[in-house]
Structure 1
Amino acid sequence: MELMGSTLTATYARPKTSHFLPAISTMASSYRNTQPVMAMNPSANMWRTNSYYKGSSSIQSPSSLQRDGFDLVRAKTMFYPSNRSALTTRYTPDDWYKSNHNNYRESESSRKSAERLRKDTVRLMQDKEQLTRRSQENTSKNIAERVNDIVFWRSELSHEIDNMVTEIAALTEVKRRLERALAETEGPLQVSQECLYHREKRMSIDLVHDEVEKDLIKEVEVIKSCQEKMRRHLERAIAQLASNRAAQHELEKDMSDKVTAQRIDDRCHYLRNTSDGIGYHRGIDRIDHSVSLPDSWSKFTDDNILLSQSQRAASHKLRDEIEILLNTTSNEMWSQFNNVNVAFTGRISETGDAKNSLQAHLAKTLQELFQTEMLIESLKKAIRDKESPLKVAQTRLEERTRRPNVELCRDNPHHRLVSEVMEIEDTIHKLQERLMEAESTLQTLVKTKVTLEHDLSIKANSLFLDQEKCMSLRKSFPSMPRLVGYT
Structure 2
Amino acid sequence: MHCTLAFTPNDWMASNQGNYLASDRVRGGAERLRMESVRLCSEYDDKTKRAQAEVGKRLGERIGDINFWKTELNHEIDLMITETNALNEAKRILEKNLAETENPLHISQECLYNREKRQSIDLVHDNPEKELIREIDLIKRCQERMRNTIDRANVQLGLNRAAQHELERDAGDKFIAENLDTTSHLLRNTSRGIAYHDGVHRINNTISVPETWAKYSNDNIQRSQAERLASKNMRNEIESVINTCNNEMWMQWNAANTALNNRVQETTDARNKIQAHLNKTLQEVYEMEKNIELLKKSIHDKEAPMQVAQTRLDTRLRRPNVELCRDSVHNRLVQEVGELTDTVDHLQHKLREAENALQALLRTKGALEQDLSIKNNTLFIDREKCLAMRKTFPIAPRLVAVA
Return the TM-score normalized by structure 1: 0.76
Deviation track 1:223-253 (CA, whole Å, cap 9, x = no partner) reads: 1111111111111111211211121111111
1:196 maps to 112
| In the alignment, structure 1 residue 457 sits paired with structure 2 residue 376 | no
Q: Work out whether residues 359 and 456 of structure 1, in 8 Å CA contact, stay in contact via their aligned partners in 2.
A: yes
Q: Hey, what's the Cα distance between the residues in 1 that align with 2:322 and 2:260?
A: 93
SS at match of 1:374: helix
Q: Hey, what's the Cα distance between the residues in 2 that align with 1:478 and 1:118?
A: 103
- Identity across matched positions, percent: 56
Alpha-carbon shift at residue 479 of structure 1 (Å): 4.5
1:207 maps to 123
| In the alignment, structure 1 residue 237 sits paired with structure 2 residue 114 | no
Q: Work out whether residues 63 and 181 of structure 2, in 8 Å CA contact, stay in contact via their aligned partners in 1.
A: yes
* Amino acid aligned to 1:469: K
Q: Work out whether residues 219 and 336 of structure 1, in 8 Å CA contact, stay in contact via their aligned partners in 2.
A: yes
SS at match of 1:159: helix
Q: Hey, what's the Cα distance between the residues in 1 that align with 2:56 and 2:64?
A: 12
Q: Work out whether residues 112 and 129 of structure 2, in 8 Å CA contact, stay in contact via their aligned partners in 1.
A: yes
SS at match of 1:175: helix
Alpha-carbon shift at residue 205 of structure 1 (Å): 0.4
Q: Work out whether residues 178 and 484 of structure 1, in 8 Å CA contact, stay in contact via their aligned partners in 2.
A: no
Q: Hey, what's the Cα distance between the residues in 1 that align with 2:261 and 2:394?
A: 20
Over the aligned positions, Cα root-mean-square deviation in angstroms equals 1.5
Deviation track 1:78-131 (CA, whole Å, cap 9, x = no partner) reads: xxxxxxxxxxxxxxxxxxxxxxxxxxxx66643332222222222222222222
2:103 maps to 187
1:396 maps to 312
Alpha-carbon shift at residue 325 of structure 1 (Å): 1.2
SS at match of 1:409: coil
Deviation track 1:369-421 (CA, whole Å, cap 9, x = no partner) reads: 11111111111111111111111112222222222222222221111111111
Gaps of 5+ in 1: 1-105
Q: Work out whether residues 239 and 400 of structure 2, in 8 Å CA contact, stay in contact via their aligned partners in 1.
A: no
* Amino acid aligned to 1:324: S
Deviation track 1:399-458 (CA, whole Å, cap 9, x = no partner) reads: 222222222222211111111111111111110110110010011001001101111111
Deviation track 1:143-185 (CA, whole Å, cap 9, x = no partner) reads: 1111111111112112111111111111111111111111111
Q: Work out whether residues 383 and 428 of structure 1, in 8 Å CA contact, stay in contact via their aligned partners in 2.
A: yes
Q: Work out whether residues 244 and 311 of structure 1, in 8 Å CA contact, stay in contact via their aligned partners in 2.
A: yes
* Amino acid aligned to 1:174: A
1:436 maps to 352
Deviates further, 404-413 or 373-382: 404-413
Q: Hey, what's the Cα distance between the residues in 1 that align with 2:95 and 2:125?
A: 35
SS at match of 1:477: coil
Q: Hey, what's the Cα distance between the residues in 2 that align with 1:411 and 1:462?
A: 75
Alpha-carbon shift at residue 476 of structure 1 (Å): 4.5
* Amino acid aligned to 2:183: R
Q: Hey, what's the Cα distance between the residues in 2 that align with 1:479 and 1:401?
A: 101
Alpha-carbon shift at residue 474 of structure 1 (Å): 1.6
Deviation track 1:31-78 (CA, whole Å, cap 9, x = no partner) reads: xxxxxxxxxxxxxxxxxxxxxxxxxxxxxxxxxxxxxxxxxxxxxxxx
| In the alignment, structure 1 residue 144 sits paired with structure 2 residue 60 | yes
* Amino acid aligned to 1:166: T
Number of aligned residues: 380
Q: Hey, what's the Cα distance between the residues in 2 that align with 1:402 and 1:262?
A: 157
2:26 maps to 110
Of 304, 322, 326, the residue aligned with 1:410 is: 326
Q: For 1:74-113, what aligned pairs fall within 5 Å after superposition?
A: 109-113=25-29
Alpha-carbon shift at residue 485 of structure 1 (Å): 7.6
Q: Work out whether residues 101 and 395 of structure 2, in 8 Å CA contact, stay in contact via their aligned partners in 1.
A: no
Of 240, 247, 251, the residue aligned with 1:335 is: 251
Alpha-carbon shift at residue 302 of structure 1 (Å): 0.6
Of 316, 327, 333, the residue aligned with 2:232 is: 316
Alpha-carbon shift at residue 475 of structure 1 (Å): 2.7
Deviates further, 472-481 or 383-392: 472-481
Of 259, 280, 283, the residue aligned with 2:175 is: 259
| In the alignment, structure 1 residue 421 sits paired with structure 2 residue 337 | yes
Alpha-carbon shift at residue 203 of structure 1 (Å): 0.7
Q: Work out whether residues 386 and 428 of structure 1, in 8 Å CA contact, stay in contact via their aligned partners in 2.
A: yes
Gaps of 5+ in 2: 1-21
Q: Hey, what's the Cα distance between the residues in 2 that align with 1:137 and 1:384?
A: 147
1:384 maps to 300
Q: Hey, what's the Cα distance between the residues in 2 that align with 1:259 and 1:459?
A: 81
Q: Hey, what's the Cα distance between the residues in 1 that align with 2:203 and 2:367?
A: 108
Q: For 1:8-87, what aligned pairs fall within 5 Å after superposition?
A: none
Q: Which has the larger radius of gyration?
A: 2
Q: Hey, what's the Cα distance between the residues in 2 that align with 1:121 and 1:317?
A: 74
Alpha-carbon shift at residue 329 of structure 1 (Å): 0.9
2:7 maps to none
* Amino acid aligned to 2:374: I
| In the alignment, structure 1 residue 169 sits paired with structure 2 residue 85 | yes
Q: Work out whether residues 372 and 442 of structure 1, in 8 Å CA contact, stay in contact via their aligned partners in 2.
A: yes
Change (3 A) 1:485 1:159: closer
* Amino acid aligned to 2:62: R
Of 377, 384, 387, the residue aligned with 1:468 is: 384
Return the TM-score normalized by structure 2: 0.91
1:356 maps to 272
Q: Work out whether residues 95 and 150 of structure 2, in 8 Å CA contact, stay in contact via their aligned partners in 1.
A: yes
Determine which structure has greater relative contact order: mean sequence separation of CA pairs < 8 Å that are 6+ residues apart, divided by chain length.
2
Alpha-carbon shift at residue 339 of structure 1 (Å): 1.0
SS at match of 2:302: helix
Q: Work out whether residues 100 and 395 of structure 2, in 8 Å CA contact, stay in contact via their aligned partners in 1.
A: no
Q: Work out whether residues 163 and 227 of structure 2, in 8 Å CA contact, stay in contact via their aligned partners in 1.
A: yes
* Amino acid aligned to 2:35: K
